Amino acid sequence: RKEVEQDPGPFNVPEGATVAFNCTYSNSASQSFFWYRQDCRKEPKLLMSVYSSGNEDGRFTAQLNRASQYISLLIRDSKLSDSATYLCVVTEYASGTYKYIFGTGTRLKVLA
Amino acid sequence: DVKVTQSSRYLVKRTGEKVFLECVQDMDHENMFWYRQDPGLGLRLIYFSYDVKMKEKGDIPEGYSVSREKKERFSLILESASTNQTSMYLCASTPAGAPSNTEAFFGQGTRLTVV
Confidence of residue B2 (pLDDT cuts 50, 70, 90): low
Q: Among residues A21, A15, A42, which one has the least CA distance to residue A86?
A: A21
- Whether A46 contacts chain B with CB within 8 A: yes
pLDDT value at residue A2:
77
Question: Which residue type, as a one-letter code, is found at position A101?
Answer: I
pLDDT over threshold 70, residue A1: no
- B5 close contact with A: CB closer than 8 A: no
What band does A80 get if pLDDT is binned at 50, 70 and 90?
Answer: very high
**Which residue out of B43, B68, B94, B100 would a mutagenesis test of the A interface target, given it has the greatest number of A Cβ atoms within 10 Å?**
B43
Give the E-state strand segments of B29-86 in sequence order. Answer: 31-38, 42-49, 56-57, 64-70, 73-78
Distance CA B104, CA B99 (A): 9
Asked if residue B50 lies in contact with residue B96, where contact means CB atoms within 8 angstroms, the answer is: yes
Pick B56's closest partner by Cβ from A42, A95, A103. A95
Distance of CA A16 to the CA centre of its chain: 20
| Pick from A17, A20, A39: nearest CA to A84 | A39
**Chain A neighbours among B 44-83 (CB < 8 Å)?**
44-45, 48, 50-51, 54, 56, 58
Give A39-60 pLDDT, tens digit per residue.
998 999 999 999 888 899 999 9
Phi, psi of A17 (to 5 degrees): -75, 160
